[in-house]
Structure 1
Amino acid sequence: MPTKRAAFRNERPSQFHHSTSLALTIHRSARSPSLTPQRLSKREEQIATMAVGVLALQGSFNEHIAALRRLGVKGVEIRKPEQLQSVGSLIIPGGESTTMAKLAHFHNLFPALREFVKMGKPVWGTCAGLIFLADKVTGQKAGGQDLIGGLDCTVHRNYFGSQIQSFEVDLPVPELAAKEGGPDTFRGVFIRAPAILEVGPQVEVLADYPVPSEKPMDEAHEENKGSEKKVIVAVRQGNLLGTAFHPELTADSRWHTYFLKMASEIEGGASNSIVAVEGGDLTFNPQPNNDLPIFQ
């Protein structure tokens, strides 16, 4: 049986400063609103592709940056449209999707985020981030919310219930284990989590979860009564990755390495697409250096 757990707390983001000139250049690029693609030198463009952006409006962006740092990869906090020009890939973290949408509107981020996706840049959405990437969302509050879109799926917002119904469970992840090694399961941390009800033909299902018998299914899925009910909780479609759970809250780094390697492949497999700026190892490590409280 999955165990319930309390909600995680948002923490003030830590600033990670690297001594290498490469990391310092990335840091300056991320802080320079006037830096446009037309004004970047060839070397600066190469450096930009090495940085991973993390949307830092609200939610667990700090934990994602810490997870990247444990792998030796530079994470750049993204709060303004022009900052997207300094990164080659993006993580949209979990959090409160309505609040994140309001802040994205305030900073006029939606047009830039949609363009980032349309350009084929690698984007990973976790929990609320998955909701933003979906083409269709059900269970929204009155009036709904704007989406980035691009992921051909239907996501049910807060499918597993309220905050007190959050839980952890071992998910079978054969595709992740085949590519990244390690155990055949991944500890999924579900916090007021969504679920994917339907996917399009181009979407690859990476993990699903059996629905408890007392959990009602969406009306469109009532025909599945006679078979085991499952909802999808991890998918990939081209440049887009989505997980309904929070890999950044575990000590298992395999979803982050999966995304980094995916981003490198999309960039053409160039050796300078994603780099470990402090000698990080992009392989499964069961005992990483924990910069934040991590759930084992």
Structure 2
Amino acid sequence: MTPVVGVLALQGDVREHLAALDACGVRSVAVRRPVELDTVEALVLPGGESTTMSRLLETFELLEPVRARIAAGMPAYGSCAGMILLAREVLDGRPDQQQLGGLDVVVRRNAFGRQVDSFETDLTVDGVSGGPMRAVFIRAPWVESTGPAVQVLATVPRLTLAGSDAGPAAGRAVAVRQGAVLATSFHPELTGDGRLHALFCDMVRETAAAA
């Protein structure tokens, strides 16, 4: 059977993720309510504004159900704000910000600066074949530290595509995986490169096959 993958549709880049998932051969659905979460085998947490998404998870009574499903082994992928939500701990977040805790990582919110500091670069991502992929960073987090079970898939190179020095961002982890949970600081849904979503879809199929 074709896996059903949900995209948390409370705020952020929802349509782009739905299209990218459809392109890699799964059935995608928008998730706004617990009853819709019950129909999916995996969940994508899109880019957006992490504190807003945290509040909306509580408002729509999705926080505890999503947290429980991830703890029970449901595959999840978070891009940008989604990475922040999946982290165990967030630096520079709001005191009332809620975490889903799917990744044993500490992330720094808005680590790359403000909207005007957004940039693109090419990244080599472990597990993604076909050469470097274009990564778009928009008010993005980076990973400050990882637990022993976390695999770092990509780090920021010293030079950006514009040839400027990446400065304190150089060497920072921006793509990580822990079991069935994947997260990136950047937005693959905005570039038309479907390889990161294909990797996640393969993770979903592997998890379903092992069940």
TM exceeding 0.5: yes
Tell me how far apart the structure 2 counterparts of residues 214 and 126 of structure 1 sit (CA, whole Å).
20
Q: Deviations over 1:91-132 (max 9, x none)?
A: 000001111111111111110011110110100011000000
Match of 1:130 in 2: 83
Q: Which of residues 195, 198, 210 in structure 2 aligns to 1:254?
A: 195
Distance 1:97 1:157, change over 3 A: same
| 1:60 paired to 2:29 | no
More strand by share: 2
| 1:104 paired to 2:45 | no
Match of 1:236 in 2: 177
Q: Deviations over 1:34-93 (max 9, x none)?
A: xxxxxxxxxxxx67xx21100000000110001122234321100111211100011000
Whether the aligned pair in 1 keeps the contact of 2:123 and 2:157 (CA below 8 Å) is no
Tell me how far apart the structure 2 counterparts of residues 264 and 62 of structure 1 sit (CA, whole Å).
22
TM-score by length of 1: 0.66
Match of 1:176 in 2: 128
Q: Which of residues 98, 114, 120 in structure 2 aligns to 1:162?
A: 114
Structure 1, unaligned stretches of length 5 or more?
A: 1-45, 218-228, 271-296
Q: Which has the larger radius of gyration?
A: 1
SS of 2:122 mapped into structure 1: strand
Match of 2:162 in 1: none
Match of 2:103 in 1: 151
Tell me how far apart the structure 2 counterparts of residues 117 and 71 of structure 1 sit (CA, whole Å).
22
Tell me how far apart the structure 2 counterparts of residues 85 and 106 of structure 1 sit (CA, whole Å).
18
Match of 2:156 in 1: 209
Whether the aligned pair in 2 keeps the contact of 1:136 and 1:155 (CA below 8 Å) is yes
Q: Which of residues 49, 73, 81 in structure 2 aligns to 1:120?
A: 73
> What amino acid maps onto 1:239 in structure 2?
A
Whether the aligned pair in 2 keeps the contact of 1:158 and 1:193 (CA below 8 Å) is yes
Identity %, equivalent residues: 47
Q: RMSD over aligned Cα, in angstroms?
A: 1.9
SS of 2:38 mapped into structure 1: helix
Number of equivalent positions:
206
Q: Which of residues 115, 133, 137 in structure 2 aligns to 1:186?
A: 133
| 1:200 paired to 2:147 | yes
Tell me how far apart the structure 1 counterparts of residues 29 and 81 of structure 2 sit (CA, whole Å).
19
Tell me how far apart the structure 1 counterparts of residues 126 and 59 of structure 2 sit (CA, whole Å).
40
Tell me how far apart the structure 1 counterparts of residues 53 and 205 of structure 2 sit (CA, whole Å).
28
- Mapping 1:27-66, distance limit 5 Å: 50-66=3-19
TM-score by length of 2: 0.91
Give, in angstroms, the shift of residue 239 of structure 1: 1.2
Tell me how far apart the structure 2 counterparts of residues 71 and 124 of structure 1 sit (CA, whole Å).
14
Give, in angstroms, the shift of residue 174 of structure 1: 3.9
Structure 2, unaligned stretches of length 5 or more?
A: 160-164
Tell me how far apart the structure 1 counterparts of residues 194 and 17 of structure 2 sit (CA, whole Å).
10
Whether the aligned pair in 2 keeps the contact of 1:211 and 1:231 (CA below 8 Å) is no
> What amino acid maps onto 1:150 in structure 2?
G
> What amino acid maps onto 1:68 in structure 2?
L
Give, in angstroms, the shift of residue 145 of structure 1: 0.3
Give, in angstroms, the shift of residue 268 of structure 1: 2.1
> What amino acid maps onto 1:209 in structure 2?
V
Whether the aligned pair in 1 keeps the contact of 2:154 and 2:173 (CA below 8 Å) is yes
Whether the aligned pair in 1 keeps the contact of 2:44 and 2:78 (CA below 8 Å) is yes
